[in-house]
């Protein structure tokens, strides 16, 4: 059962949090619209498409701004409570400092899971949908793409040394059209050992692939081809790539994939490649990045509660600088983790642990 004091503290925190998130969303959209408005008019993009684009951007904006909104909201509500002597009254009545901030720590943990769910469930899809309207940051392309169509897909399976080129893929019925697969040798100098071309292919769960109107060409070690073999229908049960695996190749950057897509792509690329290291770092960071919600509670609480001692403006500036330092160091460690210099778990979680320690130290010192 939530006590009266907890309800009061949480309520005083939630309203500024909502206002901050709304303000951030409006500012981001206004800035982006001022940058793209000319392109929208030049390309005669219908207002409904523009509205859909910014609707897709909302989850992306929220996932990025929730931690900083937590910081500003907590500074405001604690500073207001301290200025009205509410914190002094609580402590005089015997309520410990950590008991006062406990509701905010719980909210930090809750917002961690909300931010993580938002980033995994909504953000990747929102990025892909927004990219269909505006594919690059600087220009607008193909605002009215037809649904159900897809561009040519190139998928490289470096574990089995197969290169897939697909002209069209329909994930709804697990079929592809105009497909070409090139198989490479596993040892020595990589060379093509076989190509398979088909007008159509379909994937059958727990069986493999059926290819139709197939042309198979094998190659001698010197690169000269054997005579082509044709078949109306041929099975390839050893091919374990699924349409979902291949669809992952068209997602582009890891930011447009959910965590399942990231792991799926990792299963089909070389573990020693730079791209694999980047994906591994990205996967681990997805679990660590929302922890900023909890870290910022620890960094904001000391300066919000004791702002009358150090000065409100000074406390706000120091806490904001600490949070900006957190993002700077986090970015540094992520880049180091991308290169494989340190383990991704350390690269992702060390900034969280370090700045959480700073927050606990400041709270203990000011207790």
CA distances from 194 to 210, 216, 283 (A): 17, 7, 34
Q: What is the pLDDT of residues 250-280, one digit of tens each?
A: 545 677 778 887 887 777 666 777 778 888 8
- pLDDT score for 233: 93
Burial degree of 93 (CB within 10 A; 0-12, 13-18, 19+):
exposed
Q: What is the Cα–Cα distance from 78 to 100, expressed in whole angstroms?
A: 10
Q: Are 249 and 153 in contact (CB under 8 A)?
A: yes
- pLDDT score for 136: 43
pTM of full prediction above 0.75: no
Is the predicted pLDDT of residue 237 greater than 80, yes or no? yes
Place 228 in a pLDDT band, splitting at 50, 70 and 90.
Answer: very high
Q: What is the pLDDT of residues 279-338, one digit of tens each?
A: 889 999 999 999 999 999 998 888 877 655 445 677 778 888 888 999 999 999 999 988
CA distances from 358 to 39, 294, 316, 354 (A): 46, 13, 16, 6
Q: What is the Cα–Cα distance from 138 to 128, expressed in whole angstroms?
A: 16
Q: What is the pLDDT of residues 193-227, one digit of tens each?
A: 899 999 999 999 888 999 999 999 999 888 888 99
| Alpha helices, DSSP H, located in the chain | 4-42, 47-83, 86-92, 97-117, 123-133, 243-249, 259-266, 274-288, 292-305, 307-310, 312-338, 344-366
Q: What is the pLDDT of residues 10-40, one digit of tens each?
A: 888 999 999 999 999 999 999 988 888 887 8
Q: What is the Cα–Cα distance from 10 to 263, expressed in whole angstroms?
A: 37
Is the predicted pLDDT of residue 3 greater than 50, yes or no? yes
- pLDDT score for 313: 74
Q: What is the pLDDT of residues 142-162, one digit of tens each?
A: 333 333 344 567 777 767 778
- DSSP-assigned beta bridge partners for residue 170: 175
- Say which residues have a Cβ less than 8 Å from residue 157's Cβ, sequence separation at least 6: 163, 164, 241, 268, 269
Percentage above 90 pLDDT, the chain: 35
What does the pLDDT average to over 175-184? Answer: 90
Q: What is the pLDDT of residues 67-112, one digit of tens each?
A: 999 999 998 888 888 888 888 788 788 787 788 888 999 999 999 9
Q: For the chain, what is the mean pLDDT?
A: 82
């Amino acid at each position: 059962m939530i006590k009266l004091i907890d309800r009061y503290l949480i309520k005083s925190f939630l309203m500024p949090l909502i206002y901050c998130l709304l303000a951030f969303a409006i500012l981001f959209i206004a800035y982006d619209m001022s940058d793209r408005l000319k392109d929208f008019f030049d390309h005669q993009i219908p207002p409904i498409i523009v509205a859909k684009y910014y609707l897709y951007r909302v989850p992306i904006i929220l996932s990025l701004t929730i931690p900083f909104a937590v910081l500003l909201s907590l500074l405001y509500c604690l500073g207001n409570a301290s200025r009205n002597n509410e914190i002094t009254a609580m402590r005089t009545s015997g309520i410990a400092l950590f008991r006062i901030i406990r509701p905010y720590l719980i909210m930090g943990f809750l917002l961690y899971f909300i931010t993580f769910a938002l980033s995994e469930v909504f953000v990747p899809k929102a990025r892909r949908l927004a990219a269909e309207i505006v594919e690059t940051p600087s220009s607008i392309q193909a605002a009215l793409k037809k649904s159900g169509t897809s561009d040519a897909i190139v998928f490289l399976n470096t574990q089995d040394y197969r290169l897939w080129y697909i002209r069209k893929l329909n994930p709804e019925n697990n079929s592809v059209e105009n497909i070409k697969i090139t198989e490479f040798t596993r040892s020595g100098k990589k060379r093509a050992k076989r190509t398979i071309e088909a007008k159509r292919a379909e994937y059958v769960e727990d069986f493999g692939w059926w290819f139709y109107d197939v042309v198979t060409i094998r190659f001698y070690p010197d690169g000269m081809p054997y005579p082509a073999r044709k078949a109306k229908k041929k099975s390839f049960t050893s091919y374990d790539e699924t349409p979902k695996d291949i669809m992952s190749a068209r997602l582009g950057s890891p930011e447009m994939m959910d965590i399942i897509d990231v792991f799926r792509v990792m299963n089909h690329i070389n573990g020693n490649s730079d791209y694999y290291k980047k994906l591994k770092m990205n996967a681990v960071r997805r679990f660590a990045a929302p922890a900023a919600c909890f870290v910022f509670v620890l960094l904001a609480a000391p300066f919000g509660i004791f702002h009358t001692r150090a000065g409100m403006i000074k406390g706000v500036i120091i806490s904001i600088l600490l949070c900006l330092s957190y993002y700077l160091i986090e970015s540094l460690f992520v880049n180091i983790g991308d290169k494989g210099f340190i383990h991704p778990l350390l690269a992702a979680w060390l900034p969280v642990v370090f700045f959480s320690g700073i927050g606990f130290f400041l709270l203990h010192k000011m207790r």
